[in-house]
Amino acid sequence: MKTAFVHEWLTGGFVGSEKVLAEMWTVRPDSPIYTLVHNPADFVGTPLAHAKIHTSAIQHWPRGVQNYRTYLPFMPYQIEQFDLTPYDTVISSSHAVAKGVLVGAGQLHISYIHSPIRYAWDLYQQYLREANLTRGVKATLAKLVLHYIRIWDNSTANRVDVFLANSEYVAKRVWRTYRRPARVLYPPVEVARFDHTRPREDFYLAMSRFVPYKKIDLIVETFSRLDKPLVVIGSGPDFEKVKALAGPNVQLLGRQSDEVVAELMGRCKAFVFAADEDFGIVPVEAQAAGAPVIAYGKGGSLETVVPDKTGVFFGQQTVESLMRAVSLFEERQHLFNAGTIRRHAEQFQPARFRAQFAAILQTAEQAKASGQDPEQAVLALPLERI
């Protein structure tokens, strides 16, 4: 089948959704990828460096690649300008507008949803507060744009034959937003690059972009009060705010290489994760390195962390709740075995993802060709569950 992939933007690095796209693309590696903007320098040495990329007009607009988010109001229109008529199958990788591409009745459209547009839907009010867009002319314009995007986003759900979701948590949000069922296909995690056999040392580890919803400030404040050693990897707009909260027991390392990350995950006492994430690849990476995880008990973490086997949960994003979880972890530390934790993480290996995606793709294409409903065929497909 002649196939095309669609992804919102390929810029900012080879991270979560881009890694998922790359694994799907390796199943059909001769297929082109359509994206609003593309910065080739961000993908040197990755599988996507070899893909044929088609971009939108935004690529050529003033600072379109660097400041692509500025052009959000134009993205629905631009994603609809891609001519996908030559293809039998269209696969979109979507956390914003990619699922809204135009396809014909005879084409199959499978959309892998990393998340419905969070800043337009469930995180709308939080986004406005954090962006200081609660009042004034600029705030009114932002609200109007997001109102229009919600209407457009909802209307484009019928352009998709089969929805895939990266977690049960996201599948529920797909249903709530679009009233469509989604088959869960957990993202691939590069388990093999982590070593779980290193001796554990007496420090906790956290890693994230320094943005409000990741709650790095909560982790740093908590450990500063506990006076327990904490190492933090990452950078972002909130770096100075987080730095001001850090006590002498907290080390802020900034961005680090994959090698340093893997080493620290293999040595830390436990990994701490405070975000409400759609899936959360980083906690699975920590488990691949044999590290127990102390996680906020909401979102994707509930599907990747097993209580008292691979980690513990805290119930609220507060200092007091996280402090209790750290205390609980230290009481139960003897329950955790690096080998057991590693084996749990191995269920998320890329080979499994590729095999299941290939099976879904084949099933959907066969159903479409025979006049059956691809969505029902994929939902009924027996796949090994994690």
Same domain, 132 and 222: no
Same domain, 174 and 227: no
pLDDT over 70 percentage in the chain: 100
What is the pLDDT averaged over residues 308-336?
A: 97
Strand-pairing partners, residue 7, are 35, 93
Threshold 0.95, pTM exceeds: no
Residue 172 covered by a domain: yes
How far is residue 374 CA from its own chain's centroid? 25
Same domain, 316 and 218: yes
The answer to whether the beta carbons of residues 51 and 4 sit under 8 Å apart is no
Which CATH number fits the domain that encloses residue 164?
A: 3.40.50
For residue 212, the model assigns a pLDDT of: 87
CA torsion through residues 349, 235, 277, 157, sign:
negative
Same domain, 107 and 200: no
For residue 33, the model assigns a pLDDT of: 99
SS (H, E, C) 122-135: CCHHHHHHHCCCCC
Residue 385 covered by a domain: no
Same domain, 229 and 153: no
Residue 384 covered by a domain: no
Same domain, 200 and 124: no
The secondary structure of residue 307, as a DSSP letter, is B
For residue 241, the model assigns a pLDDT of: 94
Q: Structural domain of residue 107, as residue ranges?
A: 3-188+350-379
Alpha-carbon gap, residue 36 to 94, rounded angstroms: 12
231-290 pLDDT, tens digit each: 999 998 899 999 999 999 999 999 899 999 999 999 999 999 999 999 999 999 999 999
Residue 386 covered by a domain: no
What is the pLDDT averaged over residues 15-44?
A: 96
For residue 124, the model assigns a pLDDT of: 86
- What's the pLDDT band for 58 if we cut at 50, 70, 90? very high
Alpha-carbon gap, residue 222 to 230, rounded angstroms: 10
The answer to whether the beta carbons of residues 317 and 217 sit under 8 Å apart is no
Same domain, 174 and 203: no
* Total domain count, the chain: 2
Grouping H, G, I as helix, E, B as strand and the rest as coil, residue 293 is strand
Burial class (CB in 10 A: 0-12, 13-18, 19+), 20: buried
Residue 338 pLDDT > 90: yes
For residue 254 the two structure tokens come to 């900034």
Q: How many CB atoms lie within 10 A of CB 352?
A: 19
Same domain, 217 and 342: yes
Helix H or strand E segment including 55: strand 53-55
Residue 382 pLDDT > 90: yes
Same domain, 363 and 302: no
The phi and psi torsions of 22 (rounded to 5 degrees) equal: -60, -40
Residue 201 covered by a domain: yes
Same domain, 173 and 195: no
For residue 133, the model assigns a pLDDT of: 86
Residue 61 pLDDT > 90: yes
What is the pLDDT averaged over residues 20-24?
A: 97
For residue 130, the model assigns a pLDDT of: 79
Task: Name the average pLDDT for the chain.
Answer: 96
The answer to whether the beta carbons of residues 194 and 265 sit under 8 Å apart is yes
Which CATH number fits the domain that encloses residue 337?
A: 3.40.50.2000
Alpha-carbon gap, residue 113 to 93, rounded angstroms: 6
The answer to whether the beta carbons of residues 58 and 78 sit under 8 Å apart is yes
Helix H or strand E segment including 173: helix 168-178
